[in-house]
Amino acid sequence: MSSMMQPQIILLKEGTDTSQGKAHVIGNINACTIVADTVRTTLGPRGMDKLIHDDKGNTTISNDGATIMKLLDIVHPAAKILVDIAKSQDSEVGDGTTTVVLFAGEFLKEAKPFIEDGVHPQNLIRSFRNASTLAIRKIKELSVSIEGKSLEEKKALLAKCASTTLSSKLIGGEKEFFASMVVDSVVAIGNDDRLNLIGIKKVPGGHMRDSFIVHGVAFKKSFSYAGFEQQPKMFQNPKVLLLNIELELKSEKENAEIRLSDPLQYQSIVDAEWNIIYDKLDKCVKSGAKIILSRLAIGDLGTQYFADRDIFCAGRVMEEDLKRVSAATGGTIQTTVNNIIEEVLGMCEVFEERQVGNERFNIFSGCLSGTTATIVLRGGADQFIEEAERSLHDAIMIVRRAMKNSSVVPGGGAIDMEISRYLRHHARTIAGKSQLFINSYAKALEVIPRQLCDNAGFDATDVLNKLRQKHASSDGANFGVDVNTGGIADSFANFVWEPSVVKINAINAATEAACLILSVDETVKNPKSESAEAASGGMGGRGGAAYRGRGGRGMRRR
C-alpha cells in the first residue's frame, strides 16, 4: 500500500512574512503598550515633556500627545492605529490626545491575560463595546450644563476649562493669564467656526507676560519699498482698501518686439505705461481709503505716491492675514481698481504700526465686525514659543467645544473613577464571562488618576484607595486627584473642569482602536514591502501589510 505524499501548496511569494494566531494578537498588544508607555509620563499638570530630534536637525519640545505621536514616526502597523486616534482626538476636540492613547493601551493591557488564557477576542470586543456605551451614557448623566448663564459668568466658566487644559502644558505657570486671553479670542469670533480667524503670531524675546491679544488683526510689517518711512503710521477710523493686484511698473517681456517707423513714437509707448500705473494709483486715492493692503507687490512708485498723499500702504501681505483683515474690517478683497465703491472698503477704529521685540507689527484694532482676534506670543527660545502655540491651540479648541456643547465634567481623574465604580457595580449584575471583561474595562479606566499620581511623584495606590472609598459614598462623585497636596479633592469645587465631549470622544476612539487591534489575527507582509512601504507611505498602497481579521481570510489582491 503506497502512502501518497500531500503536495505542498505555495500560495504567497517567497519571502512573504506571515504571522497569525494568538501570539500575533499578543505581539500587537505589546507594541501598543510600548507606544502608550512613551506618552504616559506627559499626562497632567505635573507631566514631563519630550524632546524629539529629527533627521533634519529640528528639535521639538512638547507634551501634546498628538504632536509626539506624529513626530515619533511609528512603523509598526498595529501601533499606527494609536497615532490615528491621537490625530482624530486632536482634530475633533483639540485636547485629551495623551488620554486617548493611554486608554487604548490600558484596554489592551487588560485584555492580554484573557487572550493568553484562550478567550476568543470577539467575546472581549462585545463586552468592551457594551462597557463603552454604558460609560458614555453615564458621562452624559454626570455632566453639568453651563447654558443659560450671562456672558460674564460664561466667560468665567470657560476660563476655568481653558486653565484646566493649560495646567498640563509648558505655560501652565501663567495659565490664568493665557486662559482669559483664549476665552476673549474665542468669544471675539462668535459663532464663526473658522479657526484661522484667530491668528497666533510668535515674536522671540521678552517674557511670557509680554504676550498680548489684539481685538482685530496684527501682522508683521511686510516687505517695504522706498518711501515707506515717509508714510503716516497711525490712523483713527481709517477706511481700508484690500487688493489682489500689483501696483508696480511692469517691464516688457524679454521677447516682446515693437516696430516703430518714427523714434518719437517710442516716448508715447513709455508714457502709456506710466499713465496706466498712475491711473491705477489715482483711483486708489480717490476711493477715500487711508490704508491700502495688497497680496502682491506695491512698488517704489506706488509707495512714494501714497506717502505724498498721507496714505499707508503695504504690499506682499500674506493671504491668511489679508483674509483676516477682510473679516475684521468688513472690507472685500478687490482684483481691480475700477469702480471702487464705499461698500467694498473696510473700517477699523485704530490702525498703528508698533514695535514688538525685534519686529514691527501693523495692528488693526477696534474692528467693526469684531469677528477676529490675534494673539501675539512672546518668550525666550523658539522651541518654547512653538510649544506655547500648540498649548494655546488646545485651549482654543476646548473653549470652542465648551461654547458649542456647553456641558462640563470634573477633571483630575474624578469622572474616570466614577465611571469605573459604576461599571464595576454594573458587572455584578451580569452572569457569565462578560462580568470579568467589563470589570477589567472598569479597571483600565483608573489609568488616568493613577498616572496623574505617578507623574506628580505621589503614592498612586494610596491615593486610588482613598478615591475608591470616597466614590463609594453618596457625595464623592466629583472627587479626583489633588496634584498640589498629594491627596484627594473635589475637582468641581476646585474648578478643574473639562468639556464632557473630550471624555466621550476619548473613550469612543480608544475602545474602537482596542477592538480593532483585538480583531486582527494575521498580518501578511509582502517581501517587497521594504521599498514599497516608502513609496506607498506605510500600510496603504501595494506592498503594505494586509490584515486578516474577524475570522475572514480576505487577502489583499495583488
Report, as residue numbers or ranges, the catalytic residues.
Answer: 64, 97-98, 394
Burial class of residue 267 (count of CB atoms within 10 Å of its CB; 0-12, 13-18, 19+): exposed
Whole-Å CA distances, 221 to 114, 317, 352, 489: 63, 8, 11, 49
Identify the sign of the CA torsion 219, 395, 52, 97.
negative
Whole-Å CA distances, 292 to 117, 226, 276, 336, 534: 73, 16, 18, 13, 48
Identify the sign of the CA torsion 220, 309, 295, 363.
positive
Whole-Å CA distances, 356 to 181, 274, 349: 18, 38, 20
Q: How far is CA 194 from the centre of its chain?
A: 13
Whole-Å CA distances, 176 to 5, 146, 491: 78, 20, 17
Count of beta carbons in the 10 Å neighbourhood of residue 203:
18
User: What type of residue sits at position 537?
Assistant: G
Q: What would the 3-class secondary structure string for 99-159 be? A: HHHHHHHHHHHHHHHHHHCCCCHHHHHHHHHHHHHHHHHHHHHHCEECCCCCHHHHHHHHH
Distance, CA of 175 to CA of 159 (rounded, Å): 9
Which grid cell is 465? 484607595
Which grid cell is 185? 479670542
Distance, CA of 494 to CA of 89 (rounded, Å): 26
Count the alpha carbons within 13 Å of 170 in the hemisphere toward its beta carbon: 22
Distance, CA of 343 to CA of 155 (rounded, Å): 34
Residues 6+ apart with CB under 8 A from 287: 239, 241, 337, 340, 345
**Residues 444 and 514 sit within 8 Å (Cβ to Cβ):** no
Strand partners for 203: 378
**Residues 19 and 29 sit within 8 Å (Cβ to Cβ):** no
Distance, CA of 158 to CA of 185 (rounded, Å): 12
